[in-house]
Amino acid sequence: MTLAAATNEHLASISNTLIYSSMAVYTLAFFAYIAEWLFGSRSKVARTAAALTADSGKKAGAPAVTVKNAGGTAVLERPQVVVRSASGARDVPDGPGAHGGDEQGDLYGRIAVSLTMLAFLIELGGVVARAASVERAPWGNMYEFNITFSTVAVGVYLALLALRKNVRWMGLFLVTSVLLDLGLAVTVLYTASDQLVPALHSYWLYIHVSTAIFCGAVFYVGAVATILYLFKDSYENKLLSGGKPGSFATSVLERLPASASLDKFAYRVNAAVFPLWTFTIIAGAIWAGDAWGRYWNWDPKETWSFITWIAYACYLHARATAGWKGRKAAYLAMIAFGCWLFNYYGVNIFVSGKHSYAGV
């Protein structure tokens, strides 16, 4: 074995170790997020107090507590709970977050975010080591795509937190799916380090695949927000109609942002990344022209990328149409993400085509 081959094999081993290490830290973060939700669920009083603070009222339009005098006795009047914004009214106040206003719950949430950051850095190191071991971009097969995708998804989440966006409620759902993604990568999709087929030796690999991974990560964040929006919207509708949701649903859903906030967040992230997804398809077509002599071959990967583009275009158009806002548009968003997910897993694993490399 040459020195270069031995070095590459050693780097591949380091990469595998770092990926497994990141999974261990993500697991610790998972339990910390669980603790945040559990401690938050115990403090109904703390959550109510947090929702009625002056700052909360200024930012989200929360109802104020008023005091009436009845025969010289101060009477604390219970504020009216608004479960849905009326036409022309301000939005329903957002929930306090997973910690529910509980200090210990908030502490566990901060620990969870710190562990998520540490796991992200370790996983990023694993991706870089994998790239060094193969001396190319680490996107030549599904294993490499998976570990890079989960790294970018967590990076998007941490970037939103750094921008002071209210997204910590997403942490538990994100880390859970990242662990599933990495578990699938190391058990089912793992492929030993190898060189690319000749068609992939192009600078378009760095342009086309990197944008595809980033778009997928942002679409995933939008999909999580959309799923939670559907649950929160049903919860608000039930309250509005006089129903009484179960205690578990109440404990979880009342701490999430309002359905209007979740809907707006999902729309904004999907709309922001849609132009980049359009560029991804165009870049892929240009690369296909260079590699295969034709810009479009109706290859399964190309076809499903275009179907995904149409689905998200329909969703964005629906959001701009009054009659299709809300749940109808959200269902379209989930169909669109389902198309992306099938393009990501289904086409690569179950369908043969020009994009089938290295088995998976």
Q: Are 112 and 185 in contact (CB under 8 A)?
A: no
Nearest-angstrom CA–CA distance, 329 and 222: 13
pTM exceeds cut of 0.85: no
- pLDDT at 156 (0 to 100): 94
- What the block records as the tokens of 264 is 């707006």
Q: Are 312 and 278 in contact (CB under 8 A)?
A: no
- pLDDT at 188 (0 to 100): 87
Show pLDDT as tens, one digit a residue, over the chain (360 residues). Answer: 577 677 778 888 899 999 999 999 999 999 999 999 988 776 554 445 444 443 444 444 444 444 444 444 444 444 444 444 433 333 567 888 888 878 888 899 999 999 999 999 999 999 999 988 888 888 878 888 899 999 999 999 999 999 988 899 999 999 999 999 999 999 988 887 666 666 667 778 888 889 999 999 999 999 999 999 999 999 988 888 888 878 777 888 888 899 989 999 999 999 999 999 999 999 988 888 876 777 777 888 888 999 999 999 999 998 887 677 788 899 999 999 999 999 888 887 776 655 555 445
Nearest-angstrom CA–CA distance, 269 and 318: 15
Element (H, E) at 55: helix 54-60
Nearest-angstrom CA–CA distance, 14 and 27: 20
Angle at the Cα of 132 from the Cα atoms of 127 and 138, rounded to 5 degrees: 45
Q: Are 301 and 347 in contact (CB under 8 A)?
A: yes
Closest CA to 119 of 43, 23, 224: 23
Closest CA to 215 of 101, 337, 107: 337
- pLDDT at 96 (0 to 100): 84
